[in-house]
Chains A and B, each alone.
Chain A
Amino acid sequence: MSSEQDHLRDADTEARFEFKKEEKSAFKAEKGDLDEETIRVISEDKDEPEWMLERRLRALKQFHAMPMPTDWPGQPDLSEVDIAEIVPYIRPDIDVRGGVDDWNDLPDEIKDTFDKLGIPEAEKNALSGVGAQYESEIVYQNMQERWQEKGVIFCDMDKAVREYPDLVEEYFMTKAVPPSDNKFAALHGAIWSGGSFVYVPEDVTVEMPMQAYFRMNSEGMGQFEHTLIVAEENSEVHYIEGCSAPKYSEFNLHSGCVEVFVKDGAHVQYSTVQNWSKNTYNLNTKRAIAEKDATMEWVSGSMGSKATMLYPCTILKGPGATDTHITIAFAGEGQNIDTGAKVYHNAPNTKSTIESKSISKDGGRTNYRGLVHVADGAENSSTNVECDALMFDNESTSDTMPYMEIEESKVDVAHEATVGKIGDEDIFYLQSRGLDDDDAKQMIVAGFIEPITEELPIEYAVELNRLIELEMEGSLG
């Protein structure tokens, strides 16, 4: 391992996430029954155009009209999630809206937060641009000049509404995720705030990943950031999102929305390392539309949260489009990670590959819930789904619930899943080579998730491994 990563390795990872800052805000929407008034106040505070306010109000109506999802087989218990108990919007106390471009311009406690999370350090070493969100708004936003010169846009979503209204009005919750998609998408449409807007012009390849980091600091708040990525023809970009929050006794809610448009021949990789605190409900909607010969890759590591319901979706709309899902879920004590993948093959010669790994221990529950739909006419399409689950103990649960809907005969559809425990023989072998029990188990887990870590830049691979080590230490020690 190179010395550049040592700072990550040596740091006390737990301390890096588990610290709280005193709540300081310039504007805070009070909790209570979510009504039009709240939405108008938020929209006004953001100085939004009329069309956005109208979209918010329409989404609010849909949110109130839709029932809570309760009838999915084996789904996480959401009965605690009462929107009236959530602080929907907190604007941190900063002078510059839309994010400063120098970390030193941030108030000390915010700068310190991101320093501890290692974001400025990572920016220097490995990233083409960084956006950092604190509570409901982006506080830092910067991109290297050479990408700006090529016409790449990477800015906070609120700013995009004002500065690129044509693009945003066209794509924002219209084509990929309409607010009517599900109750939490509707909630998001009403009170979204922050997030990133990425636009990559035709034929531009952004060689280094961009990163956005989302941090919730306040107790009982909800974070609703919106990410919109438009990759024009034959462009390429890798976007990484990281998220964390300190743990509180009250629940927090994260209900983000991600929309990705991958135009002809373009390539987008969307990577997530999710480490929300274990009082957070993580109910996201992520969807990509891939045009002709485009490639969409979702790489997700779900470590945190109390309950996650997240099924990143790709609609393979153009012939020859390709989707890859690589997901890893790790559920420890009290966690219910219900995650998976959705792919719609709507055109001929489309291809999808889903690889899911899950680990459950100390009474945690993981569930792979996935849907592959091959529409009539999507001939010569192929899909391959592989799910592997590892269980540590008898209090834990591991479920696999795939759904396949095949309307086309000229296809190749395969699904495979295995569940097992860590092999005693493997542990014995490693012990006989001088490793102790804990190290042996960690090594087996690291090997189990390697297909995921090798898809991430080294910094994030190290981070992911470190997070998993931390999870394992908790009970093994």
Chain B
Amino acid sequence: MSTQVHANLTDEQVQQISDELDEPEWLLETRLEALEALSDLEMPEVIRTPGRDWTNLYNLDFEGFVDPLNAAENKDQVGPEEVSILSMADALAKHEELVREYFGSVIDPQENYLTALQTALFSTGTVIHVPEGVAAEDVTIRTEMNSRSLFNYTLVITEESSSITILERQETGDDVKGERYYSGLVEIVAGENSSVQYGSLQNLSEETYHYSLKRGNADTYGTIDWIEGNIGSRLTKSSVETNLDGDGSETRIVGAFFGHEDQHFDIASRVWHNAEHTTADLITRGVLDDVARSVYEGVQNVGAGAWSTNSYQRENTLMLSDESEADASPKLIINNHDTEASHAATVGQVDQQDLFYMTSRGVDNRRAKNMLVEGFFVPVLSEIAVTEFRDDVEALIRDRLTGPVPVTPLPDEGEQGTA
């Protein structure tokens, strides 16, 4: 455990962040408790095998990355009128009871060191509330980080029989010298028979360390579908998780990553089947080039009460370079025998026969390889129902294949961020 004294983190700073957002007392308390707990908390779990830590978070000085009082961002939070999409400060002003009820209800603020760090220091957030029976699409949240560090919090609450599609993008704006840190927590409370589709596309600069924990609780007949795209960052530690708490609830976790140079992606998809007739489908595909490294963990945990469960997981990694490394651990924890569960994982390179076939048809080697890589992602991309989002992911993959392109600037008319 990190035993460093919080040289640059103080109660006063947390107080100041809270004051600037005009927060109620209970939230300030929660923040201060999280700060207090930091020295006792462990880093998020990483996989260890004899002689190896798949990701070593203890080597990183997270508090050193942090510049708590200088958070700056550019944010878009747009969506249809019938849905309430508010910044954290507005949400606290208008629906304090709602926020108080659900904040920290899915992810314990003190679950680990990094969630506590985020809880103490977060300065920006979005609260989305979908009233009963409302079917809404196209909520987009774009976050451009312009400071050294940024802590972003998202809470989604869907009432009975509502539905929503949320697309989130994280990018880095202004050049800041040295290492940066982006942390994001997403909590989803999906009410009975409601449906949430949450897409996230991370394209942070490659000096940025990135921690993300997204977790949703699905009530009876609820559905939570996740799409998790990771392209940018120096190191990503990300986990996307669903608790299938209600009978008949469902989840799908679709993941795509493309690492190059010395990027390190530690990505997890996890689902807990806690009720009857629940279904999970986990699909992740990733590509690695140069000396990039990926770590994948998939967990399908079927509880003793989860009768009549279906749970599937697939993970495939394609290695483009001999110097890259792919680690994977798909896990099945089954406590109910009335279950149909399976998982499969593969690691390989571009199929030489396919490549030969294409070059024999006159396609040059580089283009043929690029086409095969794009093709490799198709089974994942075809799971993405929102065309615009799929196009964005595809574009980033193509950019990665064809070389560096300038970061797309955000439109000027975008709402200026808080803090």
Contacts and interface: CB of A to CB of B under 8 A. Distances in A.
B344 A413 contact: no
A420 B340 contact: yes
A416 to B, nearest CB: 5
Nearest to A403: B329
B329 A416 contact: no
Contacts of B323: 376
Given A391-B337, A392-B337, A410-B322, A419 B49 contact: no
A212 interface: no
B333 A399 contact: yes
Contacts of B390: none
A407 B325 CA distance: 4
Interface string B307-325: 0000000000101111111
Contacts of A403: 47, 49, 327-329
A265 to B, nearest CB: 28
A239 B345 CA distance: 33
Contact of B331 (A399, A413, A420, A421): A399
Contacts of A84: none
B314 to A, nearest CB: 10
Contacts of B343: 400, 415-417
A470 interface: no
Interface residues of B, number: 38
Interface stretch (B14-22, B77-85, B205-213, B346-354): B346-354
A201 interface: no
B339 A421 contact: yes
B77 to A, nearest CB: 39
Contact of A419 (B304, B329, B339, B346): B339
A404 B329 contact: yes
Contacts of B346: 413-415
Contacts of B327: 403-406
Nearest to B321: A409
Q: Is the interface of B mostly helix, strand, loop or mixed?
A: strand
Contacts of B320: 409
Nearest to A421: B337
Nearest to A72: B48
Interface string A184-220: 0000000000000000000000000000000000000
Contacts of B329: 401-404
A258 interface: no
Contacts of B330: 400, 402, 415, 417
B341 interface: yes
A419 B334 contact: yes
B336 interface: yes
Contacts of B325: 376, 405-407
Given A406-B319, A409-B319, A414 B344 contact: yes
Contacts of A391: 334, 337, 339
Given A401-B329, A421-B339, A409 B52 contact: no
A404 B344 CA distance: 12
Nearest to B295: A405
A393 interface: yes
A420 B332 CA distance: 11
A74 interface: yes
A394 B333 contact: no
B402 interface: no
B322 A394 contact: no
Contacts of B47: 403
A74 B329 CA distance: 15
A394 B347 contact: no
A408 B342 contact: no
A396 interface: yes
Contact of A421 (B333, B338, B349): B338
B324 A409 contact: yes
A421 B337 CA distance: 5
Nearest to B50: A371
Interface in A370-407: 371, 373, 376, 379, 389, 391-394, 396-407
A371 B331 contact: no
Given A400-B331, A402-B330, 7 more contacts: A391-B337, A400-B334, A402-B329, A405-B54, A407-B325, A409-B319, A418-B341
7 A-B pairs closest in CB distance? A391-B337, A409-B319, A413-B347, A400-B332, A421-B337, A418-B342, A419-B341
6 contacts: A391-B337, A399-B334, A403-B329, A408-B319, A409-B320, A415-B346
Interface of A: 74, 371, 373, 376, 379, 389, 391-394, 396-421
